Structure 1
């Protein structure tokens, strides 16, 4: 989506995307599904004791670019952690959030907390055609249900159905359903992971740590060792990113096989979710991994297993499938939710 600074009068809101590493805060004017940026700022989450000092710092900076007489109408924060009513606890950060405390300290009338992946679901309506890579055009049913799934640190899933003039997001723990192998290699993978974890969910495979697990399984299955350069890269930093890089560059055949298997299982689970709710409004692939491996996703393995549902292949061929490549979709979703408070 193309967002721009604007002086047009709209509802002035504050949106946040709060994670254990970084927090993005956005002040924007929202009219319908159009989000126009007034001011945006990035913070290191661990450098602050709570969200309140971040917001206060943002508001101080805002006074230099916006009429100080204008007040924030409402605020919404997408939080990387579980939501319990007006409270939230971040999974990878020590501090918690209390919507009422934020409202009081920052003098906001309305404050809402939502899960960060729920915010991604809401953000779809703020995107435009340039924010997607289309895997299958299908036949969009304008008011049909939607599903969003996204592999990153974990595997997020949410469903959307039309409610009045916009889509309502229903959070889900669909990433933790049982992994169902589709062939003998995947059955062997399941046995390997079951020996490690006991219960094997899709998240054990469709995540950064899942890609590492697939690669380690293939190494064991092939009685092999990773190239020294890849082994050092895995030890030095993000192991999943190192495997993906070696796969995409063709430097390691087993890394390439691991990524192909990851993509196939990703497509299969996307097809499972499409069948579960008959998502004729589209399947949307989000998360941090997909945009980084988009060429491998487009190469065919994802859609092959998405469609490989026997008698329901034809029906699935009519469902639009898109990858979201706008990394700020969650922030935009929180902005839309704030505008509706």
Structure 2
């Protein structure tokens, strides 16, 4: 069987379809900002893919119908990575007013079975297929080949998960909502941050300070703490932006604003500390993998002192944490590829 892709803007032919082994499947990564969908064959090979702005669509069904209309071929099943907990086949997307239900989606789309998995599960399932050039080592360590691997991903929100291996090629990815656990500050600046945020929020989680939503919180806190005036050009840029995070990050990376630069350093320290916490919680002898859309854009910052010290300072467990390598995931489609890999293996 061959797959005919209809020529359309935004659809990328990733591989020559040719004879497709096994069924054709729809794999997706549904997030608060964007939704990535791919046509996958039974071998887990991505045949075509497309990215949609999530908020431009009223429901996930609309996005999938648009994609399936572009590829002009029926699929035998669907596996979607979703940014939120999956319970009894249902998921509410964190930071997006969508509710996904496996049975309802299957009936609505007429595609065969639908399987929802957490986005950090999907990212974890992608780890074994990532090439060295799709990773950047932040801390070398000494990994065990079949050891547990931990994943922490920063995008619109903050996600965490783990990948277990039995040493014989069988893997199981565990989801979590660890990003919503209580923020534990380190040092006077972070303690001040917690106090400042507690005046605004009943609960201050790691996601409040270590995510796309969290970076503006860090910036405004440091602006208030330091008393440094905001440059007029930055005030104008922030006022014109739908999302202030890229503006703050760009100013910090360019060194054009001292408060933005400090914001990125504080972000790196908090991310490093929570990555180290996750490493110890899961005993990640196979390594810690930092993913999501934001970290690769901040690679120069994450390769610096703030992240490394945050990760390594674990008291009596510092030597243990130091054994676990830390890698930055550079592949932006990791969750999509993991969903594709899961779909092909499980046949949804």
What's the TM-score, normalizing by structure 1? 0.88
What is the root-mean-square deviation in Å for CA atoms of aligned residues? Answer: 2.3
Q: 1:239 aligns with which of 244, 253, 256?
A: 244
Q: 1:39 aligns with which of 22, 43, 48?
A: 48
Counterpart residue number, 1:10 = 21
Quickly say closer, same or farther: Cα 1:50–1:125, change in 2 above 3 A. Answer: same
Counterpart residue number, 1:135 = 138
8 Å CA contact 1:5–1:36 kept in 2: the answer is no
Q: Distance in 1 between matches of 2:97 and 2:315?
A: 47
Q: Distance in 2 between matches of 1:139 and 1:28?
A: 35
SS in 2 for 1:332: helix
Q: After superposition, where does 1:236-275 map in structure 2 within 5 Å?
A: 236-237=240-241, 238-275=243-280
Moved more, 194-203 or 261-270: 194-203
Quickly say closer, same or farther: Cα 1:154–1:15, change in 2 above 3 A. Answer: same
Q: Distance in 1 between matches of 2:180 and 2:56?
A: 32
Counterpart residue number, 2:34 = 22
Quickly say closer, same or farther: Cα 1:225–1:140, change in 2 above 3 A. Answer: same
SS in 1 for 2:200: helix
Counterpart residue number, 1:280 = 285
8 Å CA contact 1:179–1:201 kept in 2: the answer is yes
Quickly say closer, same or farther: Cα 1:55–1:314, change in 2 above 3 A. Answer: same
Q: 1:172 aligns with which of 146, 169, 176?
A: 176
**Does 2:318 correspond to 1:318?**
no
8 Å CA contact 1:5–1:37 kept in 2: the answer is no
Give per-residue Cα distances to partners, 1:249-297, cap 9 Å, x unaligned. Answer: 1111121111111101110111111111210011011112101111111
Deviation, structure 1 residue 215: 1.6
Number of residue equivalences:
330
Deviation, structure 1 residue 185: 1.8
- In structure 2, runs of 5+ residues without a counterpart are 1-13
Deviation, structure 1 residue 118: 2.6
Counterpart residue number, 1:337 = 342
Give per-residue Cα distances to partners, 1:64-109, cap 9 Å, x unaligned. Answer: xxxx6xx634320112344232233334555533322333444434
SS in 1 for 2:210: coil
Quickly say closer, same or farther: Cα 1:48–1:258, change in 2 above 3 A. Answer: closer
Q: Distance in 2 between matches of 1:88 and 1:180?
A: 28
Q: After superposition, where does 1:1-341 map in structure 2 within 5 Å?
A: 4-7=15-18, 9-11=20-22, 12-31=24-43, 35-46=44-55, 48=57, 50-63=59-72, 72-162=75-165, 165-237=169-241, 238-341=243-346
8 Å CA contact 1:30–1:335 kept in 2: the answer is no
Quickly say closer, same or farther: Cα 1:335–1:170, change in 2 above 3 A. Answer: same
8 Å CA contact 2:85–2:176 kept in 1: the answer is no
Q: Distance in 2 between matches of 1:192 and 1:148?
A: 29
Q: Distance in 1 between matches of 2:138 and 2:93?
A: 33
Deviation, structure 1 residue 123: 2.1
SS in 1 for 2:323: coil
8 Å CA contact 2:15–2:48 kept in 1: the answer is no
What's the TM-score, normalizing by structure 2? 0.86
Counterpart residue number, 2:4 = none
- In structure 1, runs of 5+ residues without a counterpart are none
